[in-house]
Amino acid sequence: MSSPHQRRPILAANWKMQKGAAEATAFAAAFLPLVAGADSVDIVIAPPFTALDRLGQALSGSAVALAAQNVNPEASGAFTGEIAVSMLRELGCGYGVVGHSERRALYRESSDFVAAKAEALLAAGIRPIVCVGETLEEREADRAEAIVAGQLEASLARIPQDRAAEVVVAYEPVWAIGTGKTATPEMAQAIHAFIRERLRALYGATAEIIRIQYGGSVKPENVRDIMSQEDIDGALVGGASLDPASFARIVLFQEPEATQ
Ligand code: 13P
């Protein structure tokens, strides 16, 4: 059976502040043979900065892409502790995560800052994975759509129409991250459809090819139901991506031959 998606699925691991260079290399050695036949999906791994170089070497020659978890929009200069896009490009990063809810909440990153990061990544030829998502309080106050729309529009403000197809949007409801609580596939689909509607307003027909990932307690047991939804084009996976067998199962469930 062919994939229900007109958009190529993209399964991304966000390791957050977990795995140094040695662990990342060991992960690659175990993971790559497991996904060797997975050629109808994009697979991405975002390790901590310190593991990018060695993980990139371990992944070279494979179809698995390397991603950064963050970036600074400035080209260079006196920004202690920060990393520029040129440094990521030098290490072969194909993607960069920006606007993750942990950065928005813990480090007070605004959507304007996220927009500058996304613009800088694209200028360097690195595809931004732009994260949006509401908190539990916001959802309970019936503000989920307003929050997501506000974050989306402000975070994409510097992405012109002719580059929009290179962007990946990740919808991650904050209440589902690391909690074991997943949005039901129907609930996730509803907000993904809403996001696509907003993307149509921003980018017209290009919205049909922009991939929208779901994130929040994705695991092998629920990935198929989540991915079966019309407007869900991938997953951004935290906890369940740390184990090679677990992340491989998530990736392989996207293969057409694995669906009935
Ligand atoms: P979990 O998969 O651990 O819930 O994390 C989701 C996430 O934040 C990915 O960016």
The domain limits of the chain are: 4-259
Six-digit token pair at 254?
Answer: 């996207």
Q: Which CATH number fits domain 4-259: 3.20.20.70, 1.10.132.20, 3.30.420.40, 3.40.50.1220?
A: 3.20.20.70
Q: What is the pLDDT of residue 254?
A: 62
- Residue among 100, 102, 134, 138 flagged as catalytic: 100
Q: What is the pLDDT of residue 253?
A: 86
Q: What is the pLDDT of residue 42?
A: 98
Cα of 244 vs centre of ligand 1, distance in Å, is 16
Cα of 10 vs centre of ligand 1, distance in Å, is 15
Cross-strand pairs, 84: 72
**Cα 213–chain centre separation:** 6
> For this structure, is 100 an active site residue?
yes
Protein residue closest via CA to atom 1 of ligand 1: 238
Cα of 109 vs centre of ligand 1, distance in Å, is 18
238 contacts 24 by C-beta, under 8 angstroms: no
- Residue 142, C-beta contacts closer than 8 angstroms, at least 6 positions apart: none
pLDDT in tens, the chain (260 residues): 334 458 999 999 999 999 999 999 999 999 999 999 999 999 999 999 999 999 999 999 999 999 999 999 999 999 999 999 999 999 999 999 999 999 999 999 999 999 999 999 999 999 999 999 999 999 999 999 999 999 999 999 999 999 999 999 999 999 988 888 878 999 999 999 999 999 999 999 999 999 999 999 999 999 999 999 999 999 999 999 999 999 999 999 865 444 44
